[in-house]
Chain A
Amino acid sequence: MSVRVSKYFDALTETRAWRSVFRGGSGSSTLHRSMAIQQNIFLHLLSTKVRKRMISLNTTWYLGTLTLGTFGILVITGILLMLYYHPSAPQAYADTKDLQFVVSSGQFLRNLHRWSAHAMVFLVFAHMFRVFYRGAYRAPREFNWVIGVVLLLLTLLLSYTGYLLPWDQLAYWAITVGSNIASAVPVVGDRVRFLMLGGHFVNANALLRFYVLHCMVLPIAALFFVAIHFWRIRKDGGLYAHQKDAASVSNCDSGRPQL
């Protein structure tokens, strides 16, 4: 059975339509496998080859990959949640209640979105400390570290803007506490707070602003920087591998050519 299926699949990959989409074709040669990466606009951000020791779990703990995984889960569940949500007060709260008691699997959807968001914040911090302790921020990867810091801030902002959307007491006062800090900025503090909230206190305008930031501006910005982040890994020489043994550097200081 499986042999027949794979025969049909092989035949499919040889059709003209398939080849017009996937130019690399299908095959298990090293060339084909390289082309599977190179010829795909998303995958070509990655290297075609990776040092074998980098895939062991205790090198990176897969923290960057897992962070991207939570981001993917958040995008999918977020889009589904948007189908049931009006960013207006107090309708937002009624919609959140409906998600819990009326919408099929609405409670599960909301749970998954919220716990994944917490997991993403945690994983971003864990990823940062792991990269630091491995020394992977060193040249030539300095700028990718900076992009990572930008992504950390974007993650915090994404989580923070999403925190207001259920429009319950927890959300309202958490954002009030946070936005009060903004007004402590010297000179421009109150203006920054007004710009952020669309008013002098957290109200329906703030809800709409946070919704637009949470569902449009910040995810697109995050996606943009994630793309650079991944592409820079390849451009900066792949995942950082620690040069431990000096024996891997052979010295040709014998004065003789070694042909």
Chain B
Amino acid sequence: MSDATGKDFVAVVASDQRKAPVRVAFVTRRTSAQVKSQDEEVIQAFPEVLFRAAIAVQLLAIVLVLISLFFNAPLEGLADPSHTPNPAKAPWYFLGLQELLHYFPPVVAGVLVPTLVVLALIVIPYFNINVEAEGLFLKDRKRRLQIFWVSSGVLCLFLLLFDVIVALVPTVMTVALMAVAAYTPANTSSNFRRSLAGKPLSFWVMSWFLFELVVLTAVGTFFRGPGWSWVLPWRS
């Protein structure tokens, strides 16, 4: 249209609007309009989503009922303040902290660490570093590699100094995976390495937390016996 008249646009308005309702969009040459297409297929929450949710909950209930039929909840003797069992263990989800309590003073393992973890979880979405979705070593590579090696070295030394081998193992695992990511060539044929190289810093920090959580909890639950000594669960 613009070629014929020399204008950017021609607005056409039909005289009989009941017959031909026309929407007119005035877009000047310099404007760029980004339109997000809304062609995603949607379904009704009722019944399609709710029924699926109900089935999921029913399957869960069946699994839990079966477990409850075959495994009894533990019940020991009456509470006795004068008789301390050895070891006295907290519920399993706190055994990671109890494991740390074995190495660090209570104010560090029992107060500082959980407080920092909760604060770190809360602030995750409010820091740009967590919203960034680019591979950690893809940008500003040289400086980031330096920071990575120095900080992971300091952390490993710190854990070694306090003899916290249990927390050191997941740390070394994370560092090793990060090193694989850092030295992945751009033309790698391995899908696994390419996906590792594309992971942002937030992914690595959270994965380190997950590794620590799983390993510390598992060790505290299964591998600790009298006096918090190392035991093997299959030899009791």
Contacts and interface: CB of A to CB of B under 8 A. Distances in A.
Interface of A: 30, 33-34, 36-37, 43, 46-53, 55, 62, 65-66, 68-70, 72-73, 89-90, 93, 96-97, 100, 107-108, 110-116, 118-119, 121, 125, 128-129, 132-133, 135, 137-139, 141-142, 145-146, 149, 152-153, 156, 159-160, 163, 166-174, 176-178, 180-186, 201-203, 241, 248-253, 255-259
B165 interface: no
Nearest to A119: B64
A169 B78 contact: yes
A50 B91 contact: no
Given A33-B44, A33-B47, A138-B125, A168 B60 contact: no
Contacts of B213: 125
B68 A115 contact: yes
Contacts of A159: 91, 93
A118 B23 CA distance: 59
Contacts of B74: 170
Contacts of A137: 124-125, 130
B34 A251 contact: yes
Interface stretch (B50-58, B155-163, B181-189): B50-58
Nearest to B46: A36
A63 to B, nearest CB: 10
Contacts of A141: 125
A221 to B, nearest CB: 16
B111 A253 contact: no
A138 B200 CA distance: 14
B88 interface: yes
Contacts of A48: 44-46
A167 B87 CA distance: 18
A93 B35 contact: no
Nearest to B36: A249
Contacts of B68: 108, 111-112, 115
Interface in B81-114: 81, 83-85, 88-94, 97-98, 101, 105-107, 110-111
18 contacts: A33-B46, A46-B45, A55-B48, A68-B57, A97-B75, A100-B75, A128-B121, A137-B125, A138-B125, A139-B125, A146-B122, A153-B118, A159-B91, A166-B75, A177-B89, A181-B97, A249-B37, A257-B25
Given A111-B72, A145-B124, A167 B47 contact: no
Nearest to A34: B44
Contacts of B90: 174, 177-178
A65 B46 CA distance: 15
Given A55-B49, A62-B53, A112-B68, 13 more contacts: A49-B43, A73-B61, A73-B64, A108-B69, A111-B69, A129-B206, A133-B203, A145-B124, A146-B122, A156-B93, A168-B76, A170-B76, A259-B25
Contacts of B49: 46, 50, 55
Nearest to B79: A172
A181 B65 contact: no
B32 to A, nearest CB: 4
Contacts of B37: 248-250
B36 to A, nearest CB: 6
B222 to A, nearest CB: 15
A169 B77 contact: yes
B140 interface: no
Nearest to A66: B60
B64 A115 contact: yes
Contacts of A113: 73
A2 B206 CA distance: 53
B64 A116 contact: yes
A52 to B, nearest CB: 4
A65 B53 contact: yes
B192 interface: no
Contacts of B46: 33-34, 36-37, 43, 48
Nearest to B93: A121
The 6 A-B pairs with the shortest beta carbon distances in the complex, nearest first, are A184-B106, A69-B57, A181-B110, A172-B79, A142-B125, A111-B68
A257 B26 contact: yes
A142 B121 CA distance: 11
A137 to B, nearest CB: 4
